[in-house]
Amino acid sequence: MNKQSIQLWLLFAASLYFVIAEIGGLNYALEVVGVLVLLAFLVTISIRRDAKFYDGQIQVETNEAGVKVFSLLIEDDPEDLEQKDLVRFKIVSTSE
């Protein structure tokens, strides 16, 4: 089960418990729902943290002649870039 599925199930369980608690008069409904929503939020943070933010790097180097050279390092198949509306590259300077 991936993190997105866990997130959805936690939110579903929170909603379902709240409805059942209201109908059946169960105790601690707000506390249980609060904990489930908090867990769903923590899973969301984990998903965001693990998300890939860049499609590659732009490596900046200065060659022997003192000219800056920019190299594009793509992490995925370059053919996939054509299908995207937006790409992001991290700029990394290797010259000192």
- Asked if residue 19 and residue 39 are part of one domain, the reply reads yes
In b/e form, how buried is each residue of 44-57, taking b as 16+ CB within 10 angstroms?
eeeeeeeeeeebbe
Domain assignment of residue 63, given as a range: 56-93
- In sequence order, the β-bridge partners of residue 59 are 71, 92
Query: Do residues 74 and 56 make contact, with C-beta atoms less than 8 angstroms apart?
Result: yes
Q: State pLDDT tens for residues 27-78.
A: 899 999 999 999 999 998 887 776 667 788 899 999 999 899 999 888 788 8
- Asked if residue 60 and residue 46 are part of one domain, the reply reads no
Query: Do residues 16 and 35 make contact, with C-beta atoms less than 8 angstroms apart?
Result: no
- Asked if residue 46 and residue 8 are part of one domain, the reply reads yes
- Asked if residue 45 and residue 28 are part of one domain, the reply reads yes
- Asked if residue 63 and residue 35 are part of one domain, the reply reads no
Output the pTM of the full model: 0.53
Q: How many domains does the chain have?
A: 2
- Asked if residue 65 and residue 33 are part of one domain, the reply reads no
